[in-house]
Amino acid sequence: MKAQPTRWAAEDLWLSIVTLLPGFTVEVLPEVDSTNTELMRRARAGRAEPIVLVAESQTAGRGRQGRTWVNQPGDCLMYSLGLMLNPVDWSGLSLVVGLSIAESLQAAGVSGGPEIGVKWPNDLWLRDGRKLGGTLIETANVPAGIDAACFGAGQGTPRFVIIGTGINVRPPQASAVLTTPATCLQALDPRWTAPTALQRLLPHLVKDLLHFADHGFAPFVERFAQRDVLQGQAVHLSDGRSGVACGVSADGTLRIRTAQGVEQVLSGEVSVRPASMALPVSGL
């Protein structure tokens, strides 16, 4: 039986966001190499208007550290949000993105279902350690003289920000690449589809991004603490350090308690013990 085409309700999505992001557009592609890569190409060519680019299939999806995003058509929600930002402080951006998405999906889910959280710095996890999705954030300089709406109260140089997100909608395909236990939206509620997830999360994400651009990460610290799946967990870092995660700072850095005291982690990979389980951070 031939699969029915996905209905994205692009006009409804556009109407929910265009008042927040003047000039905003919605574009859905049946296939692309990577939504992040495509928006990066456009930004470097001077196309910097706010946009969400959705792909029904990707041939070269990318994650952090150059990892490949594994997907089959219809299995995942795959999109990239692009917009010009000049925030007061860039620190904590990936945490705000993950937090906003987790809150949106949780609010729309079944009451009493598994809690959706954020694994620092960019993954969507359930509290039981199963991975739901991830993000990859990249920025690009645009050619001088480009007239595009820019958001944020920062005094620095504006950049075109590309926020790529991949969320499992249907059960992930078995693959040797999957070293982290995975789950999907339909395991939480069979009514979820990629379009309903996007419609639910994107307006909330845009509002949080605009608030972040004006005020930084500090206003989000308490909200993040409620979704922090590493809080109180034994963790180890890719540089060999180990300790217990004890939250994040006002700038989004991870705090871990080690034998030497509390240390700040600016970037890197954090995995929850047991150490024999490799838990890569990934996204589109």
Question: In this predicted structure, what is the pLDDT of residue 118?
Answer: 96
Residues 126 and 199 in one domain: yes
Radius of gyration of the chain (CA): 18
Beta carbons within 8 Å of 56's beta carbon, 6+ residues apart = 6, 28, 29, 30, 31, 73, 74, 78
**Same structural domain for residues 174 and 132?**
yes
Tell me whether strands 51-55 and 123-126 are parallel, antiparallel or unpaired: unpaired
Q: Is residue 167 part of a domain?
A: yes
User: DSSP for 202-229?
Assistant: HHHHHHHHHHHHHH-SGGGHHHHHHHBT
The pLDDT score that the predictor gives to residue 70 is 54
244 and 141 fall within a common domain? no
For residues 105 and 35, membership in a common domain is answered with yes
Is 166 within a domain?
A: yes
Same domain membership, residue 250 and residue 207:
no
- Are 112 and 222 within one domain? yes
pLDDT for the residue numbered 138: 97
pLDDT attached to residue 69: 56
Are residues 129 and 178 located together in one domain of the fold? yes
Domain co-membership, 221 together with 245: no
Same domain, 172 and 264: no
What pLDDT, on the 0 to 100 scale, is given for residue 7?
86
Domain residue limits at 260 = 234-272
Q: What percent of the chain has pLDDT over 70?
A: 84
Q: Is residue 277 part of a domain?
A: no
Whether 278 is covered by a domain: the verdict is no
Q: Is residue 142 in some structural domain?
A: yes
Residue 67: predicted pLDDT: 57
Q: What is the pLDDT of residues 62-119, one digit of tens each?
A: 655 455 555 666 789 999 999 999 999 999 999 999 999 999 999 776 556 789 999 9
Whether residue 5 is contained in a domain is answered as no
pLDDT means per 10 residues in the chain (284 residues)? 71 98 97 96 96 93 56 85 98 98 85 84 92 96 89 95 97 64 93 96 98 98 96 88 94 93 83 46 37
Residue 3 lies in a domain: no
Q: Are residues 27 and 129 in the same domain?
A: yes
Say whether 17 sits in a helix, a strand or coil. helix
Are 109 and 219 within one domain? yes
Return d(Cα 133, Cα 154) in angstroms, integer. 30
Q: What is the DSSP code (8-state) at residue 84?
A: E
**Residue 42: CATH number of its domain:** 3.30.930.10
Instruction: Give the model's pLDDT for residue 284.
Output: 42
Name which of 205, 165, 197 is nearest 62 in CA terms. 165
Report the domain count for the chain. 2
Classify residue 111 by its DSSP letter: T
- pLDDT at res. 74: 74
Indicate whether 29 belongs to any domain: yes
pLDDT at residue number 71: 64
Same domain as 254, residue 156: no
pLDDT score of 63: 56
Cα–Cα distance between 7 and 259 in angstroms, integer?
54
